[in-house]
Structures are given as structure tokens and as C-alpha cells.
């Protein structure tokens, strides 16, 4: 058991990323039921709908721990706080809150006052310092290998080494490059307490990603991804790793016209070309031109399976890798930041 698993009540030190258009109640609940840390994406959800989604997830999770994810830099601090005030009364006592990027001081205080662990995803050592000062119980260190919006400019192992040196006793997870149990075991061996995976769960049966999005992730290899700033409408000033498409290949920028429609609670919402929105199962139109966030780990994501099967595979591979490492290094004491089994 690593400290991440112990702190959050997980059987496997793995968190599923709270991805907009992907991580709804079904995916979150199934990942948690399988023993990992499912995370419900709140993204831009209205507070009342966010509360309903948390209730739905809690009903399906069978008492297992799960988290809710907020994105303060997209919603703004006021709306983020409204979301938290709406969902925290619905979140079970063993639930946790993840923030993509630094939450404001009042948001962090609200989470801590409600008695839930605060998990903050960061991309720089200085943001790691700030997150810990605001009461983060766990840091998720995002490297440039990760899919989606990037919080820093360092590969994950470089970032992990830097933050571990600055905060030797902090509970650290890594994000970027995690698609197998061997990847997870390797991260723990290099000083992490666990990991967060996003690309791995995009094609899952319970994922709400558009079928074309799922297909492309399964068929992609690392070289099919790139970091760009194209898909900035609704989320500016943040580079992102996506799958290559006709827009990333074009020499000239096309008009930012409406190219698709998505639906939320039955209401249609137009999607502009170069929008930050990812295609979900309710999206219609020119889906192939939309942002399909995908990390370099896609090379090792080769099939679509139910979430429980994905977690079970990761768990078995992780255990096998730990046994192999223990056999290769007999008598090696456990790293000081991990909990020894007794």
C-alpha cells in the first residue's frame, strides 16, 4: 500500500482523471468499484446539475471512495466555489476533491472544512509549493507526456524528482505516461506514491467520449499526438496535447464557425471550430475537427474494455511488476515515502 492508496482508501494507487465529456457517473463509479479512484468531471456544470451527478455517482459506487474534479481556471473562482458548495453536501464522507490547477484559497478552505482530502494537479515545482501551502493532501504532478491541457513544461520524471527533493514527505502522484501496471510500478519505484491516468480510460465502455474519439485513441501511437494551442476557445492561454487532425495539419487557420452540436440535459449547445470542448457521446457534426485530448501513453492503449477490466488488468500487472522488482533487488529496503505492510 502506498500512502496515496491509504489516504484515499483505495486498493490500487491509481486515480482516473476527471475529464470533461469523458468522466461521467458511470465511469467514475465503475473505476471506484474496481478498487481505483474514480473521478467525476464537473468542468463547467451548473451547480445544481453537478449535485445531481454526484448523487447519481454515489448511488452507483457501492460505498467505494470517489472524487469530484473542478477546473478553477476555466470556471473562475466564484463559479468553482459555487460548484463545491453544491456538491460537498452530496459527496460521501470517504470522497475526495481534485482540482486541475491551483484552487483559490477560499475553495481550498471549503474542501478542508468539509473534511475531504484535497488533491491538486500541478505542472511546476512552484505551483506544487503553493498547493501544499493551501492544504493539498495530495499533489498530482502532470508531465508533458499527458493528454489534455498542460500545466507545465517538464517531463513527468523531471518534475517528480524536483518536487520530491523539495517536499520529501509529500504524497505525490504522477500524470503522463501511465497505461499499464508496469508504468504504475515504475512510477512508484522512482519516488511517486501512485499515478493518475486519463488516456487509458477514454475508450472504456462506461466513458461518455464520442465513439470516434474512442476509436482514434485505441488506434493511435505517441507520434499521432502533438502539443498545440489551437483549441483555445473557452480555455485560452494553455497549450494542450491532442490527436493530430485536419486542423493541426492545415497551413492556414480556418474560420471559427460552428461545426458541431452537443447536448446537456437535452438542450443543444453549438461548438465552434477551435473550441476546447472534446466530443462526447451526445455530440453531432464535424467531430473529427474537434479536440481529442490524448497522451503519449496511447501507444499502450490498444483496445476498448469495461472500466472494471481495465483496472483489474492494471492491478495484476502492477502486482507482477512489484514481485519482479522485489526479486531483482532482494534485501532492498522500501523507500521512505511508502508505507510498509505489516
Tens of pLDDT, residue by residue over 10-35, are 999 999 999 999 999 999 999 999 99
Q: 86-95, 264-273, 322-331 — which one is most confidently predicted on average?
A: 86-95
State the DSSP string of 52-106: HHHHHHHHHTTT--EEEEE-HHHH-HHHHHHHHHHHTTTS-TT-EEEEESPPPHH
User: Does position 335 have pLDDT exceeding 70, yes or no?
Assistant: no
Q: What is the pLDDT of residue 45?
A: 97
Indicate the number of domains in the chain: 2
* CA distance linking residue 14 with residue 194, whole number of Å: 6
Structural domain contains residue 335: no
C-alpha cell at 291: 479536440
B/e letters for 60-95, b = 16+ CB within 10 Å, e = fewer, are: bbeebbbbbbbbbbbbeeebbbbbbebbbebbeeeb
Mean of pLDDT values over 194-219? 98
Domain, as residue range, for 251: 211-297
Give, in degrees to the nearest 5, the angle at Cα 289 between 284 and 291. 95
Percent of the chain with pLDDT over 90: 94
Decide if 336 is inside a domain.
no
Cα-based distances in Å from 28 to 24, 54, 62, 65, 88: 6, 10, 12, 10, 16
Query: Do 250 and 189 share a structural domain?
Result: no
pLDDT at 330: 53
pLDDT of residue 327: 81
What pLDDT is recorded for position 169?
98
Domain identity same for 218 and 132: no
pLDDT at 336 over 50: no
Q: What is the pLDDT of residue 157?
A: 98
User: Same domain for 159 and 264?
Assistant: no
Could you tell me if 64 and 128 lie in one domain? yes
Would you report the helix, strand and coil content of the chain in percent, each value rounded to 5?
40, 20, 40
Amino acid at each position: 500500500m502506498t500512502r496515496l492508496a491509504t489516504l484515499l482508501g483505495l486498493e490500487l494507487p491509481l486515480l482516473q482523471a476527471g475529464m470533461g465529456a469523458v468522466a461521467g457517473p458511470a465511469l467514475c463509479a465503475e473505476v471506484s468499484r474496481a478498487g481505483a479512484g474514480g473521478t467525476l468531471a464537473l468542468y463547467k456544470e451548473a451547480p445544481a446539475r453537478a449535485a445531481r451527478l454526484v448523487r447519481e455517482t454515489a448511488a452507483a459506487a457501492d460505498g467505494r471512495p470517489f472524487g469530484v474534479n473542478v477546473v478553477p481556471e476555466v470556471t473562475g473562482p466564484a463559479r468553482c466555489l459555487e460548484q463545491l458548495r453544491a456538491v460537498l453536501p452530496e459527496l460521501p464522507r470517504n470522497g475526495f476533491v481534485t482540482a486541475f490547477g491551483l484552487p483559490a484559497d477560499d475553495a481550498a478552505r471549503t474542501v478542508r472544512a468539509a473534511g475531504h482530502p484535497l488533491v491538486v494537479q500541478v505542472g511546476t515545482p512552484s505551483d506544487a509549493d503553493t498547493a501544499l501551502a493551501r492544504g493539498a493532501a495530495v499533489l498530482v504532478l502532470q508531465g508533458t507526456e499527458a493528454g489534455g491541457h498542460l500545466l507545465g513544461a517538464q517531463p513527468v520524471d523531471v518534475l517528480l524528482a524536483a518536487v520530491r527533493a523539495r517536499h520529501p514527505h509529500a504524497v505525490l502522484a504522477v500524470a503522463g505516461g501511465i497505461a499499464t501496471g508496469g508504468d504504475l510500478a515504475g512510477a512508484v519505484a522512482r519516488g511517486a506514491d501512485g499515478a493518475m491516468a486519463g488516456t487509458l480510460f477514454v475508450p472504456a465502455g462506461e466513458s461518455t467520449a464520442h465513439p470516434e474519439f474512442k476509436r482514434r485513441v485505441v488506434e493511435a501511437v505517441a507520434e499521432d499526438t502533438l502539443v498545440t494551442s489551437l483549441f483555445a476557445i473557452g480555455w485560452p492561454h494553455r497549450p494542450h496535447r491532442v490527436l493530430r487532425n485536419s486542423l493541426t495539419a492545415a497551413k492556414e487557420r480556418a474560420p471559427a464557425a460552428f461545426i458541431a452540436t452537443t447536448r446537456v440535459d437535452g438542450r443543444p449547445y453549438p461548438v465552434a471550430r477551435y473550441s476546447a470542448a472534446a466530443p462526447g457521446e451526445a455530440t453531432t457534426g464535424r467531430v473529427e475537427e474537434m479536440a481529442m485530448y490524448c497522451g503519449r501513453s496511447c501507444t499502450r492503449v490498444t483496445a476498448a474494455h469495461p472500466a472494471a477490466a481495465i483496472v483489474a488488468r492494471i492491478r495484476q500487472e502492477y502486482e507482477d511488476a512489484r514481485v519482479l522488482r522485489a526479486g531483482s533487488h532482494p534485501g532492498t529496503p522500501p523507500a521512505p515515502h511508502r508505507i510498509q505492510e505489516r
